[in-house]
Amino acid sequence: MDRRERVMRQIRGQAVDRVPLMGGWFHGVDNLAALAGVSAERYLESPVENLARANLALDVDCMIEPIVPTYRGEIRTGEVLDARHAETTAEDLLRDGEAVPPTEAGVLAAYDAAAEERKYREYFRRWTNALNPLILVPNFWDSVPDFHLFDRYGYNAYFSAIALYPEAVGRIFWKMAVEARARNTIILRLIRELELPPMLFTGSDICNTRGPMVSIAFLRQHYFPHERFALQPLVEAGIRVIRHCDGNVMPVVDDFITIGYSGFQGFQYECGVDPYQLAARRSSRGERPLFFAGLNVTRTLPFGTQEDVRREVEYVFDFTDGGAGLFFFTSSSIGPEVPLANVRAGYQYAAAGAGGEARAKHARWPGGARDAVL
- 313: pLDDT confidence band, cut at 50, 70 and 90? very high
> In sequence order, what are the beta bridge partners of 139?
201
Task: Look at residue 362 in the predicted model and tell me its pLDDT.
Answer: 53
Task: Look at residue 166 in the predicted model and tell me its pLDDT.
Answer: 98
Burial grade of 313 (CB within 10 A; 0-12, 13-18, 19 or more): buried
Lowest mean pLDDT among 25-39, 173-187, 358-372: 358-372
Task: Look at residue 83 in the predicted model and tell me its pLDDT.
Answer: 81
pLDDT greater than 70 at residue 63: yes
pLDDT greater than 90 at residue 364: no
Full-model pTM: 0.93
Task: Look at residue 357 in the predicted model and tell me its pLDDT.
Answer: 53
pLDDT greater than 60 at residue 171: yes
pLDDT greater than 90 at residue 77: no
- Residue of higher predicted confidence among 75 and 202: 202
- 78: pLDDT confidence band, cut at 50, 70 and 90? low
pLDDT greater than 60 at residue 374: no
Average pLDDT rounded to a whole number, residues 280-307 = 94
Contact 244, 201 (CB under 8 A): yes
Q: What is the crossing angle of helices 166-193 and 155-164, to 10°?
A: 110
Rounded to 5°, the CA angle 94-100-103 comes to 145
Average pLDDT rounded to a whole number, residues 179-196 = 97
- Residue of higher predicted confidence among 83 and 1: 1
Task: Look at residue 211 in the predicted model and tell me its pLDDT.
Answer: 95
Q: What is the percentage of the chain residues whose pLDDT exceeds 90?
A: 84
Task: Look at residue 368 in the predicted model and tell me its pLDDT.
Answer: 62
- 356: pLDDT confidence band, cut at 50, 70 and 90? low
Average pLDDT rounded to a whole number, residues 8-35 = 95
Q: What is the percentage of the chain residues whose pLDDT exceeds 70?
A: 94
Task: Look at residue 86 in the predicted model and tell me its pLDDT.
Answer: 86
Residues in CB range of 66: below 8 A, 6 or more apart: 23, 24, 25, 26, 48, 51, 55, 131
* Domain definitions of the chain by residue range: 80-131+140-238
Task: Look at residue 369 in the predicted model and tell me its pLDDT.
Answer: 47
pLDDT of 206-232, one tens digit each?
999 999 999 999 999 999 999 999 999
Q: How many CB atoms lie within 10 A of CB 213?
A: 18
SS3 117: helix
- 371: pLDDT confidence band, cut at 50, 70 and 90? very low
Average pLDDT, the chain: 92
Name residue 19's amino acid.
V
pLDDT greater than 50 at residue 30: yes
Name residue 84's amino acid.
R
Average pLDDT rounded to a whole number, residues 180-207 = 97
